Amino acid sequence: MNLRRLGTSLIAPLLGVGISIAVTSVILIAIHAQPLAVFSSMIKYGASAHAMTLILNLATTYFLSALAVAIGFKMNLFNIGVNGQYTLGAMVGGAVAGSLHLPTILSVPITIAVAMIVGAGWAGIAAWLKVARGVSEVISTIMLNFIATAIISYTIVRTSVGHETSLNVRGTAMIPESGMLRGIPLLDPKTEIYGFFFISIAIGILYWFVLNRTRFGYDLRATGHSATAARTSGIDAKRMTVITMLISGALAGLVGLPYLLGDAGSYNLNFPTDWGFTGIAIALLGRNNPIGIAVGALLWAFLDVASGQLILEGVPREITTIMQGVIVIVVVMSYEIVRRNQVKSEQKNVARALEKQEVSA
């Protein structure tokens, strides 16, 4: 039975990858490229130690972003605001880290705490609007994303928080080396695996434990399944909404940090701003399960990193964005089909069992 469940839950992702390869091949042939050559060059590059390190690092970011989205999904909350939460968190965290001159053991935890608090605070506005004023979090977080963008550009362009950084673009002050969380060159002697890679594994385990092994996690999942049923069993749904949104925001606050503390050293105006949407896609692929999300994050990061190789094959790297889009659409559709078939087969089983009872009675 368990094996069967595993099988059915693998159908959707495999179908997604398969169909997206097929669609991509058609497109590649249409632009006179060789699909096999393209895919093999992506895989060959992706398997190199250098690329694997880059993939792990990028996957770390995606994993955190998807977890932030997933915890909301578990409760039917749709946090589209991860973009705003993490960019604000990373900017304030970067500004604080840039002004601190403390040993790493103090500076990094302070930066992490600041980024999480800012992320949670920004998500908290949406939470308050939802429980106190009945505003859908989908719309409020979209608005808050736009507002965050304006706040960041104002702060960096017009206040003393912003400086000219070495890259000729304005950003927060460069973080001193003691404030950075560099990594270890585990696979490739020349590139480091972010320190945050290991932190995010711990966060993934904690996420699983809290959701599946604690009273809070039970309440959360129960509210997600049926708010009315949860209320009758004594769960304060409003309180759960606020707490979940705050946790989601706090996790989102972490999203920018692997790159900020492992690589960039300053939040500047070129900092990527749409990792939140990637997180939504990966949470969908991984069905809000930490292992599924990890696999999804690795797949996504592989496509992103290996796409850099495509220019050598004369193919625009955006072909992988199409692959990603197709994967998501096919996977969500097939999850739905699989779910319906499961319901149908369960109903049949129940009907059969009932029939037997009637016959024997």
Can residue 326 be called a binding residue for other proteins (CB under 8 A)? Answer: yes
d(CA 204, CA 225): 22
Residue 323 CA from chain centroid, whole number: 18
Can residue 51 be called a binding residue for other proteins (CB under 8 A)? Answer: no
Other Cβ atoms less than 10 A from the Cβ of 307: the count is 21
Site for other proteins in 23-42 (CB under 8 A): 27, 31
Can residue 154 be called a binding residue for other proteins (CB under 8 A)? Answer: yes
Can residue 153 be called a binding residue for other proteins (CB under 8 A)? Answer: yes
Other Cβ atoms less than 10 A from the Cβ of 212: the count is 12
| Among 5, 44, 158, 352, interactor with other proteins by CB under 8 A | 158
Take residue 275 and report the two structure tokens written for it.
């990792």
d(CA 106, CA 322): 43
Stretch that binds other proteins, among 86-94, 142-150, 175-183, 263-271 (CB under 8 A): 142-150
CB of 154 to other proteins, least distance (A): 4
Stretch that binds other proteins, among 87-95, 113-121, 256-264, 324-332 (CB under 8 A): 324-332
Q: Partners of 191 in the beta sheet?
A: 188
Stretch that binds other proteins, among 3-11, 221-229, 260-268, 280-288 (CB under 8 A): 280-288
| Among 15, 193, 240, 284, interactor with other proteins by CB under 8 A | 284
Q: Let me know if 21 is exposed, middle or buried by CB neighbors in 10 A (0-12, 13-18, 19+).
A: middle
The angle at the Cα of 219, spanning 234 to 238, to the nearest 5 degrees, equals: 65
State the sign of the Cα–Cα–Cα–Cα dihedral 66, 68, 69, 74: positive
Which residues of the chain form contacts with other proteins (CB under 8 A)?
Answer: 27, 31, 78, 129, 133-136, 138-140, 142-144, 146-147, 150-151, 153-154, 158, 277, 280-281, 284, 316, 318-319, 321-322, 324-326, 328-329, 332-333, 336-337, 340
